[in-house]
Amino acid sequence: MISRAVAVFAGVVLTVASADVLTSRPIADVTIADVAVAVGGAAVTVVVVLAAVFAVFAVGGAAAAVILGGAAAAVMAVVAVGRAASSVDGGDLLRVVRAFVAGSRDRLKSCFSSGIRWLRDSFRRRSRAAVASGRGHRLRIHETVDYLVDYLVERAVRRLPEGARDRFAEEWLDHRSHLQGWRLLWWALCVRATAALTASELEHARLPRAEL
Amino acid sequence: MGKRRASGPRITLPTAMVLRLLLEDPTAEYYGFAVAEAVGFPSGTIYPILARLEAAGWLSSYWETDDPARLERPRRRMYRLTGHGATSARAALTATQRLLGTLPTAPQAQPGTA
């Protein structure tokens, strides 16, 4: 089960990163070749996602990882070649790699890559904390889950009516003492997904502020 | 709001299940997670129901007073049926059951007659 999840995660990250790099050029410099590559890349991404779903549910864990890895590498290659074709003359292998690396670096520096920066900063922060607490560099999976749960619950609470936020943040905090691991993460995802509905119901109920 | 208070909260299937749980022991106190676990619905369903019932005056709630540091967990919001709530909940469940009883039974599927 974990290998399947890792395979899906790796595939998604690689395809998103490829798309991310592809769109990193300034809009004024975008050429028809870029657009063609973007359309091609999007088509390949769709195929990769469908293949990933098929691989995970029909084939199995290890085989799925191999298929996903190959598919993700194919996407990366298409993106890199397309990028090189539009931005590098001639384009030997080294230039292709350099163009791809330069695009990745630019993208990570851009203000539109906050999601990647958030993950990177989070990883560094937690890594430093792990070193400081004497556990070494290794990060434990439950710390990552806790971090994601914090993030999801915080986003869910923000959707609630202002008067109810503190109360439900504290009530939901209690759930975390009951659940662990993937179950906790699934619960947080559900809370985040139903936050708008909960907010709407709470607004209907209009709890008196004194009762909060 | 007034109309809703006068006629009581909507009795959906999850609401009926929550009320049935609470009526098993009207004096017992429950917290949100316990209700969600017992009823089998996610918290995204349970908390709006609890809020609706509380707004209608069928439930009262309060924060538990024990020190969270001593309990080694966050404090819980406890919910309990009010006297009016218990009476109204019984009446609402009875009415719902009566309503369900008046529905015609579904015709039995005949095998091989698609």
Interchain contact B61–A (C-beta under 8 A): yes
* Domain contains A86: yes
* Domain contains A98: yes
Global pTM value = 0.52
- Identify from B10, B33, B54 which residue to disrupt to test chain A contact, counting A C-beta atoms within 10 A and taking the largest count: B33
Predicted pLDDT at A142: 58
* Domain contains B44: yes
Q: Is B31 helix (H, G, I), strand (E, B) or coil?
A: strand
* Residue A82 shares a structural domain with residue A167: no
What is the sign of the dihedral through the CA atoms of A135, A141, A142 and A148? positive
Q: Which of A110, A131, A158 is the last residue of a domain?
A: A110
Residues in chain A within 8 Å Cβ distance of B33: 174-175, 178
Are the C-beta atoms of residues A202 and A164 closer than 8 Å to each other?
yes
* Residue A10 shares a structural domain with residue A82: yes
> What's the mean per-residue pLDDT of chain A?
67
Residues in chain B within 8 Å Cβ distance of A201: 47-48, 51-52
* Residue A165 shares a structural domain with residue A99: no
Residues 6+ apart with CB under 8 A from A157: A165, A168, A169, A172, A195
- Give the separation between CA A144 and CA B66, rounded to whole angstroms: 31
* Residue A102 shares a structural domain with residue A146: no
Q: Test B43 with A201 for CB contact under 8 angstroms.
A: no
Residues 6+ apart with CB under 8 A from B61: A211, B50, B54, B77, B78, B79, B80
Q: Test B44 with A175 for CB contact under 8 angstroms.
A: no
The two three-digit tokens of residue A202, written as one number: 């709470």
* Domain contains B113: no
* Residue A20 shares a structural domain with residue A100: yes
Q: Test A167 with B51 for CB contact under 8 angstroms.
A: no
Residues in chain A within 8 Å Cβ distance of B75: 170, 174
The two three-digit tokens of residue A98, written as one number: 């350099």
* Residue A32 shares a structural domain with residue A80: yes
Predicted pLDDT at A126: 67
Q: Test A205 with B73 for CB contact under 8 angstroms.
A: no
Residue B6: pLDDT over 60: no
* Residue A56 shares a structural domain with residue A156: no
How far A100 CA sits from the closest chain B CA (Å)?
44
Residue B73 φ/ψ region, left for φ over 0, alpha for ψ in the -120 to 50 degree band, beta for the rest:
beta
Residue type (1 letter), B44: G
Q: Please state the domain count of chain A.
A: 2
Q: Is A151 helix (H, G, I), strand (E, B) or coil?
A: helix
If we measure between CA atoms, which residue out of B43, A18, B4 comes closest to residue B18?
B43
Q: Test B48 with A201 for CB contact under 8 angstroms.
A: yes
- Give the separation between CA A53 and CA B35, rounded to whole angstroms: 35
How far B110 CA sits from the closest chain A CA (Å)?
35
Instruction: Give DSSP secondary structure letters for B46-91.
Output: HHHHHHHHHHTTSEEEEE--S-HHHHTS---EEEEE-HHHHHHHHH
* Residue A86 shares a structural domain with residue A169: no
Burial grade of A57 (CB within 10 A; 0-12, 13-18, 19 or more): exposed
Q: What is the largest CA-CA distance in chain B?
A: 66
Residues 6+ apart with CB under 8 A from A90: none
Predicted pLDDT at A210: 44
Residues 6+ apart with CB under 8 A from A43: none
How far A142 CA sits from the closest chain B CA (Å)?
18
* Domain contains B106: no
Are the C-beta atoms of residues B56 and B8 closer than 8 Å to each other?
yes
Residue type (1 letter), B26: P
Tell me which residue range forms the domain holding A165.
Answer: 141-211
Interchain contact B52–A (C-beta under 8 A): yes
How far A174 CA sits from the closest chain B CA (Å)?
5
* Residue A46 shares a structural domain with residue A106: yes
Q: Test B54 with A211 for CB contact under 8 angstroms.
A: yes
How far A178 CA sits from the closest chain B CA (Å)?
8
ipTM over 0.85: no
CA nearest to A164 within chain B: B51
Residues in chain B within 8 Å Cβ distance of A174: 31-33, 73-77
Q: Please state the domain count of chain B.
A: 1
* Residue A76 shares a structural domain with residue A18: yes
Predicted pLDDT at A54: 67
Residues 6+ apart with CB under 8 A from A20: A107, A113, A116
* Domain contains B80: yes
- For A22, A67, A71, A99, the CA distances from A74, given in Å and listed in that order, are 14, 11, 5, 17
Higher pLDDT, A132 or A138: A132
Average pLDDT over residues A156-165: 87
Query: pLDDT digit string (tens) for A180-212?
Result: 888 888 888 888 888 888 888 888 776 655 444
Roughly what angle, to the nearest 10 degrees, separates helices A141-159 and A114-132?
A: 130
* Domain contains B69: yes
Q: How many CA atoms lie within 13 A of B15 on its CB side?
A: 22
Tell me which residue range forms the domain holding B56.
Answer: 2-96
- Identify from B45, B47, B77 which residue to disrupt to test chain A contact, counting A C-beta atoms within 10 A and taking the largest count: B47
* Domain contains B29: yes
Residues 6+ apart with CB under 8 A from A144: A126
Q: Test A171 with B47 for CB contact under 8 angstroms.
A: yes
Q: Please, which pLDDT band fits residue B81 given cuts at 50, 70 and 90? A: very high
* Domain contains B56: yes
> What's the mean per-residue pLDDT of chain B?
83
Q: B61 has which bridge partners?
A: B79
* Domain contains B46: yes
Interchain contact B33–A (C-beta under 8 A): yes
| CATH number for the domain that contains residue B11 | 1.10.10.10
